[in-house]
Structure 1
Amino acid sequence: MSTPERSTVDVAVVGGSIAGCVAAIRLRQLGFEVAILDKKAMDDQSHKRLCTHFIQPHATPVLADLGLAHLAERPWSVPTKAVFVTPGGLVEGPGPYLPGEQDLSALNLERRVLDPALRAAAREHGVQYLDGTSVEQVEEDETGWTLDTTGDHGHRRFRARLVVAADGRRSRLARLLGNPTEEHPNDRAALFGYFTGVKTREDERSVFIMNDRDLACVYPLVEDRTQFVLFAEKSRVEGWHGADGRLGEFLAYFGDLPDAPPVADAVPETGLLGYADYPNQVRRPVVGSVPFVGDAALSLDPMSGIGCGFALVSGDLLARSFANRSLAGDDLAEGLAEYRRRFEEVLLPHAEGIIRDALVDKDEASQQRTFRIICDNPALSQKYLALTGRMVLPGEFKRDLMRALMTRGSAGRGR
C-alpha cells in the first residue's frame, strides 16, 4: 500500500459551508495556516438549496469582517426587516431593530450568492479549500491531530494542531469523537417555493403570518423574485400529493391569507422544495479539544430563521476566542474554554425557545392575549423584533413581557 501524501497545517476545518468558511477565514486572519476539507465535490455555483436565506441582523456584521460587506447591498441581497402578523395584531416597529443600536437590517441573501462568495473569500485569504475530500479517520496525540482523507486528491494525510468540526447536521466527527446528539421533536413540515410575478410590500419587509399553528413567510428577493415558505402542521400538508397538486394547494393556502400578497399572477421558478421531518438537534460546542460550529453544534427548526446567522456567528465566536492565543498548551485549553462560554452565553439561550416553538400544542387563547399586550406596547413590540433578530436574549424579553403583564393586571384591578 502506498504512503499517503502528507500535509501540515495549523487548523483543519472539516466542512466547508457557512460556519466552516467563516471559522477558516477568521482564523486565517489571525495568522494561522488553515485548510478546509469538504467531502462534496463542488463547482463555482454549488450552493445549498433548502434555505429561507433570511439572515438575522445579529449576524450581518460578520460579513464585513470577512471582506464581504458588499453582500449586504443591492444587487447581491435585499436588506429587510421582519413584520409579524400575529393573533393579537401587527408587530412592525419603526426604525432599527433595537433602539440605540446600529441600524442593522436583516438580509434576504440567497445561498446561490452567499456560498460561492464564502468559498472565494476563503481562497483569497489564503485558506486551502479542498472539496471532494472526505475525512475517514481522526487521531489525536500529544502534538495534535492526524486526519486521514480520501477523495479527488487520492489518499492524503493531514497534521493539524486544531481540528474544527463544521460538518453539519449529520456530523461524522460527532460520531467519531463521541459528541452525542440531543434531539427534540419538530411538529411542523415545511415547503419552500420561488416565484416571479408577486407584488410584495414596497418597503421590502419580510412578512411572517401566524395562521392557527402555522407560520407563512414571504421573503422579497433580488430581481423581483419572491420566496414563499410555509411551516405547517404535518397533518395539514400530508394530503398534498404530486408536484402539481402540492403547488396548487400551496398557492391556494397563501391566497387565502388576507395579509399575504396576491398570488393570482405568481409564476413558479422551480418545483416546491421541503421536508416532512426535521427534529431539533443540540450537541456540545466542545468535545475534548475539538470545537463544533454551525449545524454540527446546533441544528434547529428552520422556522426560527437562525441557521445562516448561527453559522456565521459561531464561526466568528470561535476565531475571536483564539485572538492573541497560540494553539498549544494552556492557550489552546483557554481558547476552547472561552469558545464554549461564548457559545453558551450568546447562542444556546435561544435554543430553548426555538425547541418549544417547534411544538404545536400551544394555548391559542393565551397566545392571543400575549400578542395583544405586545402589539399594544411599542417598546415591547420593538423588543420582540429584537428578540426574533437575536439581538437580545430571551430572558431580557421575558422580563419586559412580565412587567407589561403585571402593569396591565394592576391597571385592570384599579378600575
Structure 2
Amino acid sequence: MSTPNFDESPLDVAVVGGSIAGCATAIRFSQMGYRVAVFDKKAMNDQSHKRLCTHFIQPHAVPLLADLGLAHLYEPAWSVPTKAVFVTPGGLVEGPGGYVPGPPDSYALNLERRVLDPALRTAAQKQGVQYIDSTAVESIEEDESGWILNTRGESGSHPFRARLVVAADGRRSRLAKELGNATEEHPNERAALFGYFSGIKTREDNRSVFIMNDRDLACVYPLVEGRTQLVLFAEKARVEGWQGADGRLQQFMNYFDDLPDAPSMAEAVPETGLLGYSDYPSQVREPVVGSVPFVGDAALSVDAMSGVGCGFALVSADLLARSFADRSLDKADLTAGLAEYRQRFEEVLLPHVETICGDSLVEKNEASRQRMFQVISGNEELSQKYLALSGRMLMPNEFQRDLVRALMSRGAAGLKR
C-alpha cells in the first residue's frame, strides 16, 4: 500500500496511524496545501479493514465524507442510508420521512469498513498524501524546528522530520504512552457480539432497529446486497455460558429469534463466525499534549454500543483541520490552533462522553427507565430530540432539560387527576 518511491524530505504534517481519523486528518491538511505523510505499522492492501465495528456512521458525521472526496460512498452500491428505530420499554421511538431528498445529516449510513477503510486510503493518496505502511513510529523527539520521527520498516530504520505530528494511533496509542497522555478509563458492564448474515428479511424502509431487551441492546443493521449485521450488547453474565463457536452462534441466533421485534432467523445464513469482546472499558485522553494533537480512538475510544466510533474519528479530524484552516504551522499559529482544537473537542465531543459512559453501566431501576421512555415515545417533539441525541446532532444537556420538563409535566398532570 505504501506510496511508491516515498520521499523522505521534511514533512509539514506527520500523521501516526492510518485508520479513519488518521486518513481524514491527512486529507484535510493536504487540501490546505501541506505536505503530509501517514505512517501505519500494519501492512495494508485493498482487503485490509477493521472488522469489529457496527459500520453505523451517525448523522452528524455523514456530511464529512463529502469533504474528504468520498461523496460516492452515499450511493446504494456502497452503503445503505438508514434511520434509527428504538424499541424501548416504554414504546417505539421512530422518526418520520425517508432519506432523499434532504441533507446528508438527516440520515445515518450503514457503511462497512471493508468499503470505507480502503476508500479513505485511496482518497488520501489521490490527494497527494504519502501513505507509508509496514512502518512503526518507535519514538519521536522535539527540537527547535519541529519533530524527528524514528521509524522502523521492512527496509530498516529511517528518521523523518515534520513540523506537526498528529497522534491517530488508536486505542493502544504508543504516542500516548511516550508523551505521558494518561488514559482515563470508565467501566463497561456489557459484552458485545457481532455477526454477519444473509437471508434475513429486514424492514423494507432500511431502518436500523435497536431493541432494548431488559438491560441488553440488540441491533439489526441492513447492509448492501441484502446482507444484515446483527449486534448484541448484553450483560456479561448472559453470554458467559454461550460456549464453543457453534454453540455460541446458535445461542446468539436464538436470542434474536426470541425477540418479538427482531426479524426471523428462520432463513438466516451466517456469513462468518461471531466476533466480539467481553471487556471493553471506555477510554478518554487529553486532545492535546504539548504540541501533539490526538484524534480518533487515540483521544476517545468509548463503548461501541453508542455507535460513535467512526463518527467521532471523522469529527475529531474535522475539528483539528478547522482549527488550522486560517493558520500556518509557525510556532504562534501552531499554539493557537492547538488551543482552538482543544476547546472545540471539549465543547463538541466531551459532553456526549459522560452520557455514553453512564449508558455503559447496567441500569438497575427498570421502573424509572420504563417511565422515561413512555414519556419520550408519547411526545413527538421529545422523540425527535432523542433521535437527534442518539445521532449526536443534539447536545445532552438540551435533551435532558426537555426530558425533565416533560417528566414534571406528566407528574403534575397526574396530581391534578
State the TM-score, normalizing by the size of structure 2. Answer: 0.96
- Work out the CA distance in 1 between the residues paired with 2:363 and 2:33: 50
1:153 is displaced (CA, Å) by 3.8
- Work out the CA distance in 2 between the residues paired with 1:170 and 1:47: 17
1:360 is displaced (CA, Å) by 0.4
Secondary structure of the corresponding residue to residue 327 of structure 2: coil
Query: In the alignment, does 2:407 pair up with 1:409?
Result: no
2:378 to 367, 376, 379: 376
Partner of 1:26: 28
Secondary structure of the corresponding residue to residue 382 of structure 2: helix
Partner of 2:194: 192
- Work out the CA distance in 1 between the residues paired with 2:120 and 2:68: 8
1:6 is displaced (CA, Å) by 4.8
Listed as ranges, the matches of 1:132-171 within 5 Å are 132-171=134-173
**For the Cα contact (< 8 Å) 2:282–2:302, is it kept in 1?**
yes
- Work out the CA distance in 2 between the residues paired with 1:36 and 1:101: 31
Query: In the alignment, does 2:210 pair up with 1:208?
Result: yes
1:389 to 391, 400, 408: 391
1:152 is displaced (CA, Å) by 2.1
Partner of 1:82: 84
Gap regions ≥5 residues in structure 2: 1-6
Secondary structure of the corresponding residue to residue 229 of structure 2: strand
1:96 is displaced (CA, Å) by 7.5
- Work out the CA distance in 1 between the residues paired with 2:161 and 2:217: 47
Deviations 1:108-167 (A, max 9, x none): 000000000000000000000000010011001121000000012421111111000000
**For the Cα contact (< 8 Å) 1:195–1:268, is it kept in 2?**
yes
Partner of 1:114: 116
- Work out the CA distance in 2 between the residues paired with 1:6 and 1:222: 41
Partner of 1:14: 16
Partner of 1:127: 129
Aligned Cα RMSD in Å? 1.3
**For the Cα contact (< 8 Å) 1:233–1:360, is it kept in 2?**
yes
1:103 is displaced (CA, Å) by 5.6
Listed as ranges, the matches of 1:220-259 within 5 Å are 220-259=222-261
- Work out the CA distance in 2 between the residues paired with 1:362 and 1:168: 32
Q: How many percent of aligned residue pairs carry the same amino acid?
A: 76
1:361 is displaced (CA, Å) by 3.6
2:357 is aligned with what amino acid?
I
**For the Cα contact (< 8 Å) 2:60–2:105, is it kept in 1?**
no
Partner of 1:38: 40
Structure 1 runs of 4+ off > 3 angstroms? Answer: 100-103
1:40 is displaced (CA, Å) by 0.4
**For the Cα contact (< 8 Å) 1:96–1:104, is it kept in 2?**
no
1:102 is displaced (CA, Å) by 6.5
Over 3 Å counting, the alpha-carbon distance change for 1:151 and 1:101 in structure 2 is closer
Deviations 1:225-282 (A, max 9, x none): 0000000000000011111000000000000000000001100001011111101100
Secondary structure of the corresponding residue to residue 387 of structure 2: helix
- Work out the CA distance in 2 between the residues paired with 1:7 and 1:138: 16
Over 3 Å counting, the alpha-carbon distance change for 1:163 and 1:96 in structure 2 is farther
2:120 is aligned with what amino acid?
L
Partner of 1:349: 351
1:7 is displaced (CA, Å) by 3.1
**For the Cα contact (< 8 Å) 1:96–1:102, is it kept in 2?**
no
1:59 to 58, 61, 80: 61
Gap regions ≥5 residues in structure 1: none
1:408 is displaced (CA, Å) by 1.3
- Work out the CA distance in 1 between the residues paired with 2:104 and 2:139: 45
**For the Cα contact (< 8 Å) 2:59–2:105, is it kept in 1?**
no
Deviations 1:272-298 (A, max 9, x none): 111111011000000000000000000
State the TM-score, normalizing by the size of structure 1. Answer: 0.97
- Work out the CA distance in 1 between the residues paired with 2:357 and 2:94: 24
2:37 is aligned with what amino acid?
A
1:104 is displaced (CA, Å) by 1.9
Secondary structure of the corresponding residue to residue 264 of structure 1: coil
1:362 is displaced (CA, Å) by 2.9
1:53 is displaced (CA, Å) by 0.3
- Work out the CA distance in 1 between the residues paired with 2:282 and 2:181: 16
1:287 to 286, 289, 302: 289
